[in-house]
Chain A
Amino acid sequence: MRLLNTFLGLFLSTLVAAQQQADTLGSRTMDEVVVTATRTPRLMGNLAIPVNIISSKTLYQSGSLRLHDILAEQTGINIIENFGKGVQVQGLSSEYTLILIDGEPLIGRTGGVLDLSRISVRNIRKIEIVKGPSSSLYGSEAMGGVINIITDRAGQNKSDVSLRYARFNTLDGGFNFSRKMDKTDWLASFNYNRSSGYSLKPNAQQQTVEPFWRSVQQVSIGHQFNEKWKAGASLRRNLSQIDNTIVVQNQGASILSKGYERNEEYNFTPYLNYQASPQLKTVLRAYLTGFDARQELSVKNVVGNYDDRFRQSFHRLENQTDWQIRKQSAFTIGAGNILETVASNRYDSLSTKRSNNISYLFLQHEETISPKLMLVAGFRYDANKAYASVGSPKLALQYRYNDNLSFNLSYGRGFKAPDFRQLYLNFTNLAAGAYSVFGSEVAVGELSRLQSQGLIEQVSALASRLSALKPEISGGWNGGLKYKSGKNLLVTLNLFRNDLRNMILTDIIAIKKNGGQIYSYFNLKEALTQGLEFNADKQFKQLSIRVGYQFLHTADKEVTDAIRSGKIFARSLETGLANRMKLSEYGGLPNRSRHTANIKLGYETPKEQFLTLRAIYRSRWGTFDADGNGLINRDDEYASGYVQVNVSAGFPIGKRLKWMMGIDNLFNYKDIINLPGNPGRNGYMDLQFTF
């Protein structure tokens, strides 16, 4: 985020520069500047909520190319393969986690999932991960957490070119060109990534991952007019195309059809900063982003090609003012307006544009009550046109017991707005059972239309409850401690609990005369996720050891109640007979692993020669129901747990050239069914030239 520069002022920039030279891990982490937690630059050690930072050095040394590569190695984060690679934070799925790029939200989700492989982590300065609800600052989707990808800074007078070759004909290359000319900061970056894909099932007609290419282009400019005024803009474009080969069953014959899937995304962020005084600054920024997904398939000898189009736009204008009232008090106020539109032939037709308008206001106050006690209170109100309005409070406390030990406690509310699919979907499947799904905003109209045509057999009792959907809400507690010993040891512990309500599910509103069921969306489900996250980082001279562990427990509250009252049955794997299910048999929400852990060893000489070894463990997770009760309870309903080991090594050649190589998934762990996105062992070589 280039506006940061101004925010920080000269003082903080020199501070940051000084920290980047500090080589010890404890001090490095605690003194890192974080912007995502409070929307203002704050030192990591002063934050009252759990935050993790991934530095550009970690990104480079881990050999990560795409966002899911690096997130998969972080404690408490799981990558779930469903409509691409989605993130799971504190047991909450991708739709409840906000992904920001330079502080602005990415759009273009499929089934609620934002595919992380869309995002290149080349030309990234750092990634900040805030756990727990942050809707008090960011609004919708910030329930499980916020992941902010901060791209390279403009005006660094540093440029590089990189090239990588990896298995499956994977080529990744690009440049990053950053210059400071007088009072103007420039940055231009480009990344291109291609692969021939791979096939996990031999002799299959379609590959597991089809050939694809992706490209990211970014230009940023910032100009400092004088001490008070700065303006700038950033334009980013992200393109990707993947071949699509699908075997279509038609009249009993399987027909190979060819096509492609193409995603185009752009983000434009102009801003204007005004530093009224050292204590008062304000920024006006706009954010215009669009996402256009297209899928085309041509099927031989079949009339009518398949064409799926989804176009989304998100335009926002926002003002944020930060006021340092006194040394111990800081106040932030912001307000904005969002106009969101979607047009898709999944809903009705491309010419029908659905839109939603959101106005919001947020406030935050930080107060250092005593040298030991710090408090942050925040509140945001989102007023919407298309669904019920929502207020999101947050309160966080930090207590410093001494220089080494501090305790944190926070409570926040998060929400997720109903998406366009839940509001406007108008879908009838003529092939499979003639069922229909109607979004909540169109359901009443569609139902009465079908009734007047005499096509409805029976209307369910739920139909009378059709009303405007409410946002899904979570209440999240986080509490823990940070312990720092000298400069070489950092231990963090965080206990969390998220209670979710108003979760949106589909249910039957009517049955058609032809037997087809009609579904719509309701705020029905309540769930909880809770657990513990532990991280320990220890630095010995040239060796660093990082250990992380998360324990996670999740449950659908209605299911828990039903099990307690003896209403749920299970079929024993051994006897094949049904019995009443015990609470201890309930495996919680699908796709959740009870235990996840990682160990990362790093070795680095003063000459920047390095070696890393990272092992990531994930215990079994529920995948599907096998005994007919719709729940995860039996041993055969889980995917098996696994360990993945990644290694990398590198060294500089001369002053300008850096060479590295690595092997991901060294022991070639594969699970064709549950981890189709894991191709097995994958080696790569990487060259980077800095000038």
Chain B
Amino acid sequence: MRSTRIIGGMFLAMAMFQACEKNETTQPQSTLVQKTIANIPADTIVGLVNGQPVGAGKYTFYSLESNSLVASSDSNSLKWDIGMRGTAIITNGGNSGPGAGGAFVYVGTFDELKTIPADSVFRKDNAPVSYAIPLGSNKGWYVYNPITTLITPVPGRVLVIKTASGKYAKVEILNYYKGGVTPDATASDADKLTKQRYYTFRYSYQGNGSTSFQ
């Protein structure tokens, strides 16, 4: 058994080696960047209008490529890859931005997604009718629990992002509350409101243009 595995492994290694050789010219070296970003405010609540909590209404833009926040004055540029406002996440493409961006929601774990499946279809934002990452509870990345009034990222949802410049990244939203800690179900409404709209997420960005995350 053990020997078969070794032999099998050798075959695989050879096959991969050959594949690598073949693609050497077209497939550059992997330049994978993996980061965890904590506590990014995304249009945090500033007050109540007609009893409904509201923020300033502005997206928080983020560049996965340069791993940094992007000023909202640069919204019409290729500098950002994703934008967050409340639970809505937009990509730099479609009618959201001038870039080549798009996205889809992959069902599986972050680590399992090693290569974007070849038959994947990247969706484009068509605000306000539809978004690449669908809005709403249990449709995209999060679920809203009407009993606890808490928002929780659905486990097993990975946002596969095409960046403004056409590169690929995978994003897992880990938490939606300040400090990366979801308030207790029993916390006060005020607590739940003031602490929400803070993103903690991890992502892998492949800078070589390939669909591989290895």
Q: Is the CB of A252 within 8 A of B51?
A: yes
A672 to B186, CA, bound (A): 10
Stretch at the interface among A326-334, A466-474, A620-628: A620-628
By a CB distance below 8 angstroms, the chain A residues around B110 are: 577-578
In the complex, which of the residues B50, B109, B157, B174 contacts A579, with contact meaning CB atoms closer than 8 Å? B109
User: With an 8 A cutoff between CB atoms, is A580 at the interface?
Assistant: yes
Stretch at the interface among B81-89, B96-104, B142-150: B142-150
By a CB distance below 8 angstroms, the chain B residues around A628 are: 142-143, 152-155
If the complex has contacts A250-B51, A252-B48, A569-B156, are A626 and B185 also in contact, measured as CB distance less than 8 A? yes
By a CB distance below 8 angstroms, the chain A residues around B186 are: 672-673
User: With an 8 A cutoff between CB atoms, is A565 at the interface?
Assistant: no
Q: Is the CB of B143 within 8 A of A577?
A: no
By a CB distance below 8 angstroms, the chain B residues around A569 are: 109, 154-157
A253 to B49, CA, bound (A): 11
By a CB distance below 8 angstroms, the chain A residues around B153 are: 571, 628
By a CB distance below 8 angstroms, the chain B residues around A251 are: 50-51
If the complex has contacts A569-B156, A578-B172, are A624 and B145 also in contact, measured as CB distance less than 8 A? yes
A363 to B179, CA, bound (A): 66
Q: Is the CB of B182 within 8 A of A626?
A: yes
Q: Is the CB of B154 within 8 A of A629?
A: yes
CB distance from B14 to the nearest CB of A (A): 30
CB distance from A66 to the nearest CB of B (A): 27
User: With an 8 A cutoff between CB atoms, is A570 at the interface?
Assistant: yes
In the complex, which of the residues A568, A625, A673 contacts B145, with contact meaning CB atoms closer than 8 Å? A625
Q: Is the CB of B185 within 8 A of A624?
A: yes
In the complex, which of the residues A250, A253, A624, A629 contacts B155, with contact meaning CB atoms closer than 8 Å? A629
User: With an 8 A cutoff between CB atoms, is B163 at the interface?
Assistant: no
Closest B residue to A629 by beta carbon equals: B155
A674 to B185, CA, bound (A): 11
B161-194 contacts to A, CB under 8 A, are 172, 174-175, 180, 182, 185-186
Closest A residue to B138 by beta carbon equals: A630
By a CB distance below 8 angstroms, the chain B residues around A629 are: 154-156
By a CB distance below 8 angstroms, the chain A residues around B180 are: 576
Closest B residue to A569 by beta carbon equals: B156
If the complex has contacts A251-B50, A252-B50, are A571 and B155 also in contact, measured as CB distance less than 8 A? yes
Q: Is the CB of B143 within 8 A of A630?
A: yes
A578-596 contacts to B, CB under 8 A, are 578-580
A222 to B126, CA, bound (A): 77
User: With an 8 A cutoff between CB atoms, is A249 at the interface?
Assistant: yes
A432 to B51, CA, bound (A): 12
Closest A residue to B50 by beta carbon equals: A251
Q: Is the CB of B109 within 8 A of A578?
A: yes
- Interface digits, A625-645 against B, CB 8 Å rule (1 contact, 0 not)? 111111000000000000000
By a CB distance below 8 angstroms, the chain B residues around A576 are: 174-175, 180
By a CB distance below 8 angstroms, the chain B residues around A627 are: 152, 155
Interface residue tally of chain B, by bracket?
20 to 34
A251 to B154, CA, bound (A): 31
CB distance from B119 to the nearest CB of A (A): 19
Closest B residue to A623 by beta carbon equals: B185
A176 to B54, CA, bound (A): 61
By a CB distance below 8 angstroms, the chain A residues around B156 are: 568-569, 578, 580, 629
A580 to B110, CA, bound (A): 11
CB distance from B127 to the nearest CB of A (A): 14
CB distance from B34 to the nearest CB of A (A): 13
In the complex, which of the residues B51, B174, B185 contacts A577, with contact meaning CB atoms closer than 8 Å? B174
CB distance from A363 to the nearest CB of B (A): 45
CB distance from A537 to the nearest CB of B (A): 40
A568 to B172, CA, bound (A): 16
By a CB distance below 8 angstroms, the chain B residues around A580 are: 109, 156
A290 to B174, CA, bound (A): 52
Q: Is the CB of A624 within 8 A of B152?
A: no
Closest B residue to A673 by beta carbon equals: B186
Closest A residue to B182 by beta carbon equals: A626
By a CB distance below 8 angstroms, the chain B residues around A624 are: 145, 147-148, 185
Closest A residue to B146 by beta carbon equals: A432
CB distance from A386 to the nearest CB of B (A): 30
- Interface digits, A534-573 against B, CB 8 Å rule (1 contact, 0 not)? 0000000000000000000000000000000000111100
CB distance from A559 to the nearest CB of B (A): 14
- Interface digits, A227-269 against B, CB 8 Å rule (1 contact, 0 not)? 0000000000000000000000111110000000000000000
CB distance from A586 to the nearest CB of B (A): 14
By a CB distance below 8 angstroms, the chain B residues around A578 are: 109-110, 155-157, 172
CB distance from A543 to the nearest CB of B (A): 43
CB distance from A359 to the nearest CB of B (A): 40
A644-687 contacts to B, CB under 8 A, are 672-673
By a CB distance below 8 angstroms, the chain A residues around B175 are: 576
CB distance from A52 to the nearest CB of B (A): 34
Going nearest first, the 9 A-B pairs with the smallest beta carbon separation are A569-B156, A578-B155, A628-B152, A569-B155, A252-B51, A252-B48, A571-B155, A628-B154, A628-B143
With A579-B109, A626-B148, A672-B186 known, 16 other A-B pairs at CB within 8 A are A252-B49, A252-B51, A568-B156, A569-B154, A570-B155, A571-B155, A576-B175, A576-B180, A577-B109, A577-B110, A577-B174, A578-B157, A624-B145, A627-B152, A628-B153, A628-B154
A-B contact pairs, 20 of them (CB 8 A): A251-B51, A252-B49, A569-B157, A571-B153, A576-B174, A576-B175, A576-B180, A577-B174, A578-B172, A579-B109, A580-B109, A624-B145, A624-B147, A624-B148, A628-B155, A629-B155, A629-B156, A672-B186, A673-B185, A673-B186
Residues of A at under 8 Å CB distance from B?
249-253, 432, 568-571, 576-580, 624-630, 672-673
